[in-house]
Amino acid sequence: MKIKIEMTLNVDAEELEAYRDELGYHGETLREFVSDWVISDGVGSLENALMNNGYNPRAVEVVA
């Protein structure tokens, strides 16, 4: 099953740009940085919850 998730976030651009730059992610736009961060943390959180409760953490995969 595929589930498409879309959302809009309000962000403090100056704060996030400073953080992105401190981490050394100079090749990404702010949009890419935030999107990648939210996706990876969200998927990771779901995988951890599955594993911690006896389910297969590979039951979720980002496809696009």
Q: Six-digit token pair at 47? A: 């995988």
Give residue limits of the domains in the chain: 28-64
DSSP 3-state percent helix, strand, coil across the chain (nearest 5): 60, 0, 40
Of 38, 35, 54, 57, the residue nearest 46 (C-alpha): 57
Q: Six-digit token pair at 29? A: 């736009």
Per-residue pLDDT of the chain (64 residues; tens, 9 = 90+): 999 999 999 999 999 999 999 999 888 999 999 999 999 999 999 999 999 999 999 999 999 8
C-alpha 51/C-alpha 48 separation (Å) is 5
Question: Measured on CA atoms in the order 44, 46, 49, 50, is the torsion positive or negative?
Answer: negative
